[in-house]
Chains A and B, each alone.
Chain A
């Protein structure tokens, strides 16, 4: 499956405007781009690459307000993917590895739809979140309730729920990075 800039951009902009289906399609396309990108650079470990794919997907999701529509969305994804990779190397102390700045995505070549389980278990990580963030994520993201339902169930405000989810996802991403050896 290959997604060109025009298609990906449409999905991204529709997702930003609140279209959940477009956002899902965007994340699926991005996950394939990322899988190709990381597998080619991690070499040995497909599971390690999948950890990075998931970490980066969360970053792409939580930081999507940082996309500037005046520039290509593939460049935006690539910059985040590259940043996460360098950050990963920094954490694992594999210094001295350089990533060429202009190795743009070759979508059709690098895309990879086959998936391995990442080594991290979300439920274990979820348990480490503060209760409010954990409940907000569990209700809305895992049990697929609407923000309004979650607000009614917990007695928290809707914006409170959204903020807790947002913070919780950021904390999750941080926990995932810390767990990656």
Chain B
């Protein structure tokens, strides 16, 4: 086939194409993802028993998680359309992860040596490593849906961004359940769980986002 006839075929019907760059789909997908995570939490995991008394610290943990969600969303939205520089946003996301590990280290240094281990591990298996990725699934599906309708060209990075954004949203919901409040614990394991989501997103994204 001649390329000229292909162009003729593609261009012969005039169709107006909507092309607004700022769009509401991201906010909608994030809200759907968060709602999905809260639904899973409510149905299978349940909120912490002392939620009323610990509203302040729960809010702080959710806000901390929202930082990752915001940075991940900003990067995802940037990467979903071809030809836009994304380095600054990718570095922001990386910096937030590194800074939380640093915060965990500093908090641990300041902790009483006898209480250090307990402050770091919460005294049990860090379930957030399993539950945050699980709670991230609805957001990952919703964001993946929006991204696939556009045209991502850096699939691994886009997958990682979707993973981090959904991990952050999942962690926001998880904060309602999580009974451990030490800074060292949250800054280590939440960040690690979200980084795990980003890694999974990178692997899955490279396959599922192809077009």
Interface residues of B in 7-45 (CB under 8 A from A): 7-19, 21
Q: Would you call the interface of chain A mostly helix, strand, loop, or mixed?
A: helix
Closest chain-A Cβ to B146's Cβ sits at a distance in Å of 12
State in angstroms the CA–CA spacing of A141 and B19 once bound together. Answer: 22
The answer to whether B1 and A147 touch across the interface, beta carbons within 8 angstroms, is no
Q: A64-B17, A67-B19 known; A80 and B151 CB under 8 Å? A: yes
* Size class of the contact patch on chain A: 35 or more
**Which of A28, A58, A68, A141 sits near B84, CB closer than 8 Å?**
A68
State in angstroms the CA–CA spacing of A165 and B211 once bound together. Answer: 17
Q: Would you call the interface of chain B mostly helix, strand, loop, or mixed?
A: loop
Q: A27-B7, A58-B10, A122-B1 known; A16 and B153 CB under 8 Å? A: no
State in angstroms the CA–CA spacing of A58 and B18 once bound together. Answer: 18
**Interface residues on chain B, number (Cβ under 8 Å):** 30
A4 at the interface (CB under 8 A from B): no
A23 at the interface (CB under 8 A from B): yes
Q: A80-B82, A118-B3 known; A69 and B19 CB under 8 Å? A: yes
| 19 CB < 8 A contacts A-B | A15-B17, A18-B14, A20-B11, A20-B12, A24-B7, A58-B10, A63-B150, A64-B19, A66-B81, A68-B81, A71-B83, A71-B84, A76-B81, A76-B83, A79-B83, A117-B2, A120-B1, A141-B13, A144-B12
Closest chain-B Cβ to A102's Cβ sits at a distance in Å of 11
Closest residue of A by beta carbon distance from B4: A115
State in angstroms the CA–CA spacing of A68 and B13 once bound together. Answer: 23
B210 at the interface (CB under 8 A from A): yes
A135 at the interface (CB under 8 A from B): no
Residues of B within 8 A of A74 (CB): 83
The answer to whether B83 and A23 touch across the interface, beta carbons within 8 angstroms, is no
